[in-house]
Homo-oligomer: A and B are copies of this chain.
Amino acid sequence: MNFASDNTSAAAPEVMAAVQAANAGSAMPYGNDEIMDRVRARIREVFEAPEAAVCLVATGTAANALSLAILTPPWGAVFCHRHAHVQEDECGAPEFYTNGAKLVLVEGAHAKMTPETLHRAISGIGQGGVHNVQRGMVTLTNATENGTVYFASEVKALTAVARSFGLPVHMDGARLANAIVASGATPAQMTWKAGVDVLSLGGTKNGCLGVEAVVIFDPARAREFELRRKRGGHLLSKHRFLSAQMEAYLAGDLWLRLAAQANAAAARLSAGLLTVPQASLVHPCEANAVFAAFPRAGHRRAQAAGAAYYLWPDDQSMEGPEGEALAARLVCSWSTTDAEVDGFVSLIRG
Interface residues of A (CB under 8 A from B): 2, 4-5, 7-11, 16, 19-20, 23-30, 57-66, 73-75, 88-93, 95-103, 123, 126, 130-134, 204-205, 208-210, 224, 226-238, 241, 308, 314-315, 335
Give chain B residues whose Cβ lies under 8 Å from the Cβ of A59: 233-237
Give chain B residues whose Cβ lies under 8 Å from the Cβ of A57: 233
Query: What are 29 A-B residue pairs whose CB atoms fall within 8 Å in the complex?
Result: A7-B238, A8-B27, A10-B26, A57-B233, A58-B58, A59-B234, A62-B232, A66-B233, A73-B224, A74-B92, A74-B95, A74-B231, A89-B132, A90-B230, A91-B133, A91-B227, A92-B100, A92-B101, A93-B233, A96-B231, A97-B233, A99-B99, A102-B103, A130-B229, A130-B235, A204-B237, A209-B238, A210-B236, A233-B234
Would B102 and A233 count as touching, CB distance under 8 A?
no
Would B91 and A205 count as touching, CB distance under 8 A?
no
Contact check: which of B16, B24, B232, B237 meets A210 at CB < 8 Å?
Answer: B237
Would B29 and A7 count as touching, CB distance under 8 A?
yes
Give chain B residues whose Cβ lies under 8 Å from the Cβ of A204: 237-238
Give chain B residues whose Cβ lies under 8 Å from the Cβ of A96: 74, 99-100, 231-232
Would A241 and B91 count as touching, CB distance under 8 A?
no
Question: Given the interface contacts A99-B96, A99-B100, A102-B92, does A11 sit within 8 Å of B26 by beta carbon?
Answer: no
Contact check: which of B19, B88, B95, B210 meets A101 at CB < 8 Å?
Answer: B95
Instruction: Known A-B contacts: A75-B227, A96-B231, A210-B241. Give 14 more (CB < 8 A).
Output: A4-B28, A5-B29, A5-B237, A11-B241, A16-B19, A20-B20, A64-B233, A90-B230, A90-B231, A91-B231, A93-B233, A99-B100, A134-B227, A209-B241
Question: Given the interface contacts A91-B75, A130-B226, A130-B230, does A23 sit within 8 Å of B27 by beta carbon?
Answer: no
A232 to chain B, nearest CB (A): 7
Closest 9 CB pairs of A and B: A95-B100, A62-B233, A61-B233, A7-B237, A130-B230, A2-B26, A8-B26, A91-B230, A91-B231
